Amino acid sequence: MTTKTENRLPTAAYVNGKFISGHKKFNVINPATGEVIASAPDLGVADCKKAIDDAHTAWPGWRDTDVTQRSRIVQKWYELLMAHKDELARTMTLESGKPLSESLAEVDYGASFVEWFAEEAKRAYGESIPATKTGQRLITIRQPVGVVAAITPWNFPLAMITRKVAPALASGCTVVLRPASQTPLTALMVAKLAHQAGFPPGVFNVVTGKDSKGMGEELTTNELVRKISFTGSTEVGRTLMANAARTIKKVSLELGGNAPFLVFDDADIDAAVAGAITGKFRNSGQTCVSVNRFYVQDGVFDAFAEKLTTAVKELKVGNGLDNGVQVGPLINRDGLEKVKAHVEDAIDGGARLLTGGKAMEGLFYEPTVLADVSPSALLAHEETFGPVCALFRFKTEKEGIAMANDTEFGLAAYFYSRDVNRCWQVAEQLESGMVGINTGLVSNAVAPFGGVKQSGIGREGSKHGLDEYTEIKYLCFSE
Ligand code: SIN
């Protein structure tokens, strides 16, 4: 492995308003080249504990800061994120491998949560309830929960931070963030910009480190933490939830998906192919809402498969910093091995390979289309998290919906149809938190993002995103 350290990348964690280098460091690797691009502080459980103490000390002051002032600081943070768009995007591409065009789009997406919640915090309304006894007045108010621990993944190094941290800070909570150890640099840059925006010391803290188990345990068991927000795998989410149960913390979990994408006989096939490319190849298929299973009705199966294969063959694979690249590498060797295993298993089970199907140099995998995949294939049951389109065939609407719902996950689902009645019926019957109807992309700051079944608990973004960081307090006034 060669080393090519970039000069301008941030390398200090952020605790109680101070930038700390840490005694130990860990390397951050560019998955497109295998090069070490920087090193980040390898903090541990004790540092996490200190950051939680600092966040707890800072909480009353921040909670009691009037909302206009809190909102102004959050808004300033938004402006700084946008002003550093190019720098943030380049850092994201270097550490995650995603194409630069996607990183630039992620800065817009990530910052939009900050802008949205700067405004939304002013609308944390309570309610007035008609009393049942004369002389009583019943009202509710919303109050911030307290110290929030946020644990974020590598696939959206910026947006998954802002989607949690912005509503928490805007509503008057303080935060300790542990970003993924694969992509700590974007988080450190975000912390630097938060410092410039003027958050008081201890209000926002970022602890980087390799000890995901130890730090995760501290963040989810420490009594001072009142809320845990996590995005990542269902397996890890289950452990964190069990830990959090010991001190009955409020929990938001955005976990794994296994998104179906149905194409009905009445669909606009060209539009469905365009939606499929967006829904499958964003971040090389490494998103929780990536299409994992394409269910195509018999009458249009061949036409869809042919057009999709042509579009997939045109995708440009490479280093995300190179011009025109649309598909980057997998994040690491484990990710690549999983994709390889899923494709091999599908082919062994009788699937036809229409294009791709091979690992390339380094961590790259050819954009792949498989047709007539068996419903018992691994691809049908586990999130592949890679650039592979698996096509399954169905005959009737009822059968298609049953196949789509045959999973323990329920994050996103997509379908294409031009029949209005079918659109309503299918949307209502799909067991998922989000449904894309004639689109392959549903994510934005103003809509509620989240899953059902084992894909998670709670919603991020939208007006509901703020509820996750506040508690309802009921006040009963008697004369
Ligand atoms: C995720 O993959 O967890 C998030 C995807 C999105 O926000 O669209």
Query: What pLDDT, in 10s, does the model give residues 11-43?
Result: 899 999 999 998 899 999 999 999 999 999 999
Closest CA to 306 of 342, 339, 276: 276
| Whether pLDDT at 309 is above 60 | yes
Write the DSSP symbol of residue 449.
B
Cβ 442 under 6 angstroms from ligand 1: no
Exactly one of 95, 106, 254, 460 is catalytic; which is it?
254
Tell me, rounded to whole angstroms, the distance of Cα 367 from its chain centroid.
22
423 is an active site residue: no
- Enter the pTM of the model: 0.97
Per-residue confidence (pLDDT) for residue 5, from 0 to 100: 53
Per-residue confidence (pLDDT) for residue 6, from 0 to 100: 56
| DSSP per-residue codes, 362-380 | TT-B--EEEES--TTSHHH
Q: Phi and psi at residue 460, in whole multiples of 5°?
A: -115, 155
Q: Which atom of ligand 1 is nearest to the CA of 441?
A: 8
What's the CA dihedral at 50, 54, 56, 58 to 10 degrees? Answer: 180
476 is an active site residue: no
Closest C-alpha residue for ligand 1 atom 3: 288
Per-residue confidence (pLDDT) for residue 22, from 0 to 100: 84
Per-residue confidence (pLDDT) for residue 177, from 0 to 100: 98
For residues 130 and 467, what is the distance between their CA atoms, to the nearest angstrom? 23
2 CA distance to ligand 1 centroid (A)? 31
Cβ 434 under 6 angstroms from ligand 1: no
Task: Identify residue 331 by its one-letter amino acid code.
Answer: I
232 CA distance to ligand 1 centroid (A)? 10
Give the chain's domains with CATH numbers: 4-256+454-478 (3.40.605.10), 259-408+412-444 (3.40.309.10)
Q: Phi and psi at residue 295, in whole multiples of 5°?
A: -105, 115
The mean pLDDT of 287-295, rounded to a whole number, is 98
257 CA distance to ligand 1 centroid (A)? 10
| Whether pLDDT at 319 is above 60 | yes
Query: What pLDDT, in 10s, does the model give residues 380-401?
Result: 999 999 999 999 999 999 999 9
418 CA distance to ligand 1 centroid (A)? 27
Query: What pLDDT, in 10s, does the model give residues 254-279?
Result: 999 999 999 999 999 999 999 999 99
Query: What pLDDT, in 10s, does the model give residues 436-470?
Result: 999 999 999 999 999 999 999 999 999 999 999 99
- Confidence grade of residue 8 (pLDDT, cut at 50, 70, 90): confident
The mean pLDDT of 359-387, rounded to a whole number, is 97
The mean pLDDT of 154-177, rounded to a whole number, is 98
CA angle 29/31/34 to nearest 5° reads 65
156 CA distance to ligand 1 centroid (A)? 7
Exactly one of 102, 288, 389, 460 is catalytic; which is it?
288
Closest C-alpha residue for ligand 1 atom 7: 443
Per-residue confidence (pLDDT) for residue 10, from 0 to 100: 85
| Whether pLDDT at 478 is above 70 | yes
Compute the mean pLDDT over every residue in the chain, rounded to the nearest whole number.
97
The mean pLDDT of 301-327, rounded to a whole number, is 98
Best residue among 92, 158, 160, 253 to mutate for probing ligand 1, ranked by most atoms within 8 Å of CB: 160
For residues 92 and 104, what is the distance between their CA atoms, to the nearest angstrom? 9
